[in-house]
Structure 1
Amino acid sequence: MKDYIVRATAADNQIRAFAATTRNLVEHARSVHNTSPVATAALGRLLTAGAMMGSMMKGTDDLLTLQIKSDGPIGGITVTADSKANVKGYVYHPEVMLPPSPKGKLDVGGALRPGILSVIKDMGLKEPYVGQTELVSGEIAEDITYYYAVSEQVPSSVALGVLMNKENTVRQAGGFIIQLMPFAEEEVIRKLEEKIAGLPSITSLLEAENTPESILTTILGDMGLSILDTMDTSFYCNCTKERVEKAIVSIGKKEIQEMIDEKETIEVNCHFCNSKYHFDVEDLKEIIKRSK
């Protein structure tokens, strides 16, 4: 199944909903960053959230960044997404291994907690919007639910999951975000809460071959569900050698000339996609020429 997001409304627009399947992009992130199972689960959950939250942005150039800074062994995660649901991200310590949680699951909370979640929305204004909340569980879905409630005053239900194969590749990944509008009626709220409370885990739903559409139908099918559209989502990094060259220019001509004189070469590694860019002495000479 390809990766995609479904956007929908229900209950006469009192509810808006997003659901995604993201196995391929999470597996791509696992392969390029060589993440451990618990790091894959943590990064995969935040990538899935980022893809859906990015798709909520209205401007074509709008950018969303989700950043967790953690005192746990993972150290942190950074994910960025655009309004087309292109998403990329990395874990600070991808090698972290932990024993299972008391429930026998990958201990994402133990890897991340305590920490701070920052949501940064760059919408082309003078300053980006920044919201911050403490991690309440480190399991990410609960932390984003808490962020929405505290920073944006939007009651939300967030589910995120990554299921691994025995050989540590990604078997399933996906999630949903369901939000109540300010004018939602008490009966709608009650009905939605009952539906959410009776749901199995998101990975169980995906493992049973549910699509994003059928997941939303399970939750909202008797509440006037209206599918608005679908949107492809993928792991995409826009780094290029030309963009990296601009960063090298910012070091300063004097420093670049010193590297040339000492016959140094530079290797620049992209945090997001792990691509490596090499610049030898001749490349550095050309950079100086072009920057005059």
Structure 2
Amino acid sequence: MTRIALRPAINEAAEVLDRAGVRSPRYDAEELAAHLLGVQRTRLALVPLVEPELLERYRDLVARRARRIPLQHLTGVAAMGEIDLAVGPGVFVPRPETELLFAWTLAFLETLPHDHRPIVVDLCTGSGALALAVAHARPDAEVHAVEVDPDALTWARRNADDRIADGDTPIVLHADDATDPELLTDLNGRVDVVVSNPPYIPEGTPLDPEVIDHDPRRALFGGADGLDVVRGMLPVVTRLLRPGGAVAVEHDDSNGSELAALLGKNGEYSDVVEHPDLAGKPRFVAATRTTPR
């Protein structure tokens, strides 16, 4: 059977995705090809020729992506740190921007004294991305992850089981609401870091089809200004953190200053810092818990 050159098919796919309005058509075209071939995207040049049957499957995947089905739903995975996570319908797909929040978390953990096992809490964990990436990078940490949505929790459990199978330190999953006043009371005043990528988009914000048609609405929207869930979380965060512990919360482009003001208004936090993403857009706010009066 005659084999067919792959690169022209990838070029054609990129054009199809570009016409469909996909934001990263070349990257997505290459990722789909790499997924089918079981290789890294950067190694596609090592597979110049493919079977016609594989090319048919590739064009089918490209057509589905052109209908704005998320890339991660087609490949079944999303990355965070050094791990891959299973994702699909019913769970929020982790974004590359959240890698900055993850990196900040690891950097903060490095500043802690080595006199106790660090405790990390991930609120609104979704697929478990942040919690599991931290547990992988810091096997010495005690990591708790909280998620209220049953569908998302199913994905988080699957990912947690996969990480255990790969030898990572287990995390503790909690089927609970991040705004519950009774959440994790056994950890009161003991937590070193709280991180969260909560629902933070203001209602009515225009979104790409990949987001509005496929991510769960419960994981996206946070009320009129996007901060309803965050407001409910902050008393929990404040109660959990030890003095000198820190919180970092991802937010919408439009509400970072408001989030920073919420953290700074009662004197419960110091060193409130707004962090931009690689494009210079406001992405997350971090702050340090002061000593309670």
TM-score, length-normalised on structure 2?
0.30
Which protein is richer in helix relative to its size?
2
TM-score, length-normalised on structure 1?
0.30
